[in-house]
Amino acid sequence: MRRLFGRWGRDPGGSARPGGTAEWQALPHPVPGHSSIDGIPVPVVAVRRNGETGQLEVVRGYHPTPEWPGVAAPRNSRRHIVPASSFIPHPRREVIIGNQGFFYSTVSNAVSCAGCGRDDIGFGFVSSEVPLVGDVRNTADHSTLCEQCAGKRATAVA
C-alpha cells in the first residue's frame, strides 16, 4: 500500500485495481468528515476521488492546513480507500436557496449539477426534499448543485 500511495504529490492518475484504468482525481480542497474503516467510524479527510469506481482516498489522522494542497500529509498519517457513499462530511455544511436547504455531500458520478450541467462533480450540495417554509411537501425541488452554483444562488448559510 505504501508503494501505491507513498508520496503525497504523486500524479492523481492511476488504477483502482491491478490492470484497471480508473482515474483518481485530487480534490480541489480537502473534505473533513467521518467514514467507517474496518467497521469502526473514524474521523478522516477525503483527498482524492475516483468517479468511475465510486471510491474516495481518505487520510486518517490528518487535518487540513491553510497551505493545502501544497504541503504533504504527515508521514504517520494512514491512507485508506473507502466507498464514497460511506463518507459523511463533517462539520455539516448547509446553504439555503429560496425556501429550501441544501446539504454538502458526496454525489454519484451519474448526477449533474442542476445549475451549470457539469457532471462527475464528486461533492456538491444536495437538496433536502422538504421545504423549510410551509406545509406542502410536493413543492420541494430535489436537485444537486456544484459548490460554485450553490454559492452563487445561496440566500443564507446555515
- Beta carbons of 78 and 1 less than 8 angstroms apart: no
Alpha-carbon distance of 71 to 52, in angstroms, equals: 27
- Residues 2-54 pLDDT 10s: 333 333 333 334 444 434 456 898 888 889 899 988 888 888 999 899 988 99
- Which residue ranges make up each domain of the chain? 2-89, 94-157
- Beta carbons of 128 and 107 less than 8 angstroms apart: no
- Residues 108-126 pLDDT 10s: 888 899 999 998 889 999 9
- What mean pLDDT is reported for the chain? 77
Burial of 82 (0-12, 13-18, 19+ CB in 10 A): middle
Alpha-carbon distance of 105 to 128, in angstroms, equals: 11
C-alpha to C-alpha distances, 111 to 67, 90, 115, 120, nearest whole angstrom: 31, 22, 12, 7
What is the pTM (predicted TM-score) of this model? 0.72
C-alpha to C-alpha distances, 16 to 48, 60, 80, nearest whole angstrom: 12, 19, 12
